[in-house]
A = this chain, B = another copy of it.
Amino acid sequence: MKPENATYFHSIQIYMFNKETEYALRSLVYIQSQNNQGLRPGIEEIATAAEAPQSFTAKILQRLVRVGFINSIKGKGGGFYFEKDKPDLPLKELIVAIEGDSLFNKCGFGMKNCSCENPCPIHNDYGIIRDEINRLVSEKTIQNLAQEFNYIGIGV
């Protein structure tokens, strides 16, 4: 006797990126877009624009400074900025720094030794998806997104 219209009794969320990556992504794009206008936003402004929790964003940005993706200036008039002469930052670099490369390597079916010789049941189809993700995050840079962002206007 099983209930016919029963639903799974809890619901979990899954996203392409986790929160940390998502906040980092939006924050960096905002920083770059402000830099483009000669401005150097502070943490409060960034968190608001990126719709991200301020303290958490502060911590994330600190890490990104440490890794060398962005620079910061302390004290009055301080804020975050990209160094002008650095090459554009592909999204993939950011993602790998934060999440590692499991998104780009791990088997979709969870097999440990999934390979072309010993493929999982969704090996080929999943490969297409992974290649597409790889292409997107390798080609697009924070600076690309900031351009579009400027064009589209704010409103994350």
The residue in chain B whose Cβ has the minimal distance to the Cβ of A23 is B110
A14-B18, A100-B11 as given contacts; A118 in contact with B155, CB under 8 Å? yes
Q: In the assembly, what is the distance between CA of A4 and CA of B120, in Å?
A: 40
**Contact status A140-B118, CB under 8 Å:** no
Whether a CB of chain B sits under 8 angstroms from the CB of A111 is yes
Give bound CA distance, A68 to B156, whole Å: 40
A56 interface residue (CB < 8 Å to B): no
Q: Which of A1-36 contact B (CB under 8 A)?
A: 2-4, 6-9, 11-18, 20-22, 25-26, 29
- Chain B residues closer than 8 Å to A99, beta-carbon distance: 11-14
* Identical copies in the complex: 2
CB of A14 to closest CB in B, whole Å: 5
Partner of A63, one of B9, B67, B109, B149: B9
A111 to B67, CA, bound (A): 26
Nearest B residue to A60, CB-CB: B8
| Closest B residue to A135 using CB positions | B125
The answer to the question of A53 belonging to the interface, with a C-beta cut-off of 8 Å to chain B, is no
Q: Evaluate contact between A110 and B20: CB separation under 8 angstroms.
A: no
Q: A63-B9, A67-B7, A109-B26 are in contact. Are A128 and B122 (CB under 8 A)?
A: no
Pull 6 A–B residue pairs with CB atoms less than 8 Å apart, ordered by A.
A2-B68, A9-B63, A9-B66, A13-B99, A109-B156, A121-B144
